[in-house]
Amino acid sequence: MSTDAPASVSPGPAAEAADVTHTYARAGISVRALEGASLKVSRGEVLAVVGPSGSGKSTLLFLLGGLERPDSGAVRVAGVDWASLSGDERARFRRANCGFVVQGMALLPQATAGENVEVPLVLDDVEPAERASRTAEALDRVGLAGERAKLPDQLSGGQQQRVAIARALVGRPTLVLADEPTGNLDSRTGLAVTALLLDAAREGGAAVVMVTHDPTVAAQADRVVEMHSGRLSRTARIGPPATPGGQAGAGPTP
């Protein structure tokens, strides 16, 4: 079934984790990665998650994107609890609502920039003409209209990450999940790529949850939360938002 319509809009938060715990069990050893983490992010809001390595940041993103299930607590995107969806429904809901940007891009090396961006639309059976126009629009938004036919290794690291951003946004997601999106870029390129991601997401009304260890990247967010041992601490404002006027429901910070 082709679903060109934007994801249904519910008035609540774009995404919410409510008192979530998560344990990885491997080779008889269990690791508690999340320990009662709670989080809400509004449409158009950019939330940065900082914290030491191993504190559970990536796990939180996996749960928000429905890639892992919580032991307890609830995770909702656009008002829908992941737990209420079956396997197939989860995949379809994820494609319609979640865009992922990870460190190292994960682009298909044999596919052009345009083909990489198009992947989510192909999976969703979007009509070819619609696919082409949305792909062109997404590439244009990240400043790569002229690079559509290039392979990833013909592009710079920053350009590759912009392709990954276009791919994350082409499905018009409710929620963009970015895990250290600038981790392998030099700091200037990283800042430029972050600004582009955040502008594009805000323009499209998406919420962004972005894990970063870089304080200058975190400073571009509307709100910053810190993760320690699987728990989120209260908002810690690191700096002013990069884009004044972005409608970020973020109230006063402590």
**Footprint on this chain of ligand ADP (rule: CB under 6 A):** 24, 26, 31, 33, 51, 53-59
Which residues ranging from 55 to 84 are in contact with Mg ion (CB under 5 A)?
58
Sign of torsion over alpha carbons 9, 10, 11, 12: negative
Instruction: Give the tokens for residue 1.
Output: 């079934």
CB of 155 to ligand ADP, least distance (A): 27
What backbone phi and psi angles, to 5 degrees, belong to 48? -100, 140
Angle in degrees, CA 33, 66, 86, rounded to 5: 130
Q: Given the complex with ligand ADP, which of 59 and 160 has the nearer CB atom?
A: 59
- Apex 73 CA angle, 21 and 44, nearest 5: 100
Contacts of 26 (CB under 8 A, 6+ apart): none
Could you give the dihedral angle defined by the CA atoms of residues 48, 49, 52 and 53, in that order, rounded to the nearest 10 degrees?
Answer: -100
In this structure, are residues 178 and 46 in contact, taking their beta carbons and an 8 Å threshold? Answer: no
From the list ligand ADP, Mg ion, none, which binds 26 (C-beta under 5 to 8 Å, kind-based)? ligand ADP
Min dist CB 57 to Mg ion, Å, is 5
Cβ burial, residue 200 (10 Å; 0-12/13-18/19+) = buried
Classify residue 55 as left (phi > 0), alpha (psi -120 to 50) or beta.
alpha
- The upper half-sphere exposure of residue 15, i.e. CA atoms within 13 Å in the direction of its Cβ, equals 30
174 touches Mg ion by CB under 5 A: no
Least distance in angstroms from the C-beta of 116 to ligand ADP:
25
Q: Give whichever of 25 and 129 is closer to ligand ADP, judged by the CB atom.
A: 25
Stretch that binds Mg ion, among 53-61, 96-104, 131-139, 226-234 (CB under 5 A): 53-61
| Nearer residue to ligand ADP within complex by CB, 53 or 86 | 53
| Residue with smallest beta-carbon separation from Mg ion | 58
- The C-alpha angle with vertex 196 and arms to 178 and 91, in degrees rounded to 5, equals 35
Residue 56 touches which of ligand ADP, Mg ion, none (CB < 5 to 8 A by kind)?
A: ligand ADP
From the list 52-60, 62-70, 131-139, 185-193, the region that binds Mg ion by CB under 5 A is: 52-60
Rounded least distance, CB 215 to ligand ADP, Å: 16
We find the least distance from the C-beta atom of residue 101 to Mg ion, in angstroms, to be: 13
Candidates 240, 169, 179, 245; CA nearest to 200 is: 169
Which CB, 39 or 96, lies closer to ligand ADP?
Answer: 39
Size, binding site for Mg ion by CB under 5 A: 1
Query: Apex CA 82: angle with CA 93 and CA 223, to 5°?
Result: 90
161, interface contact from ligand ADP, Mg ion, none, CB < 5-8 Å by kind: none
What residue 84 binds from ligand ADP, Mg ion, none (CB within 5 to 8 A, per partner kind)?
none
Identify what 24 binds: ligand ADP, Mg ion, none; CB under 5 to 8 Å per kind. ligand ADP
Residues that bind Mg ion (CB under 5 A): 58
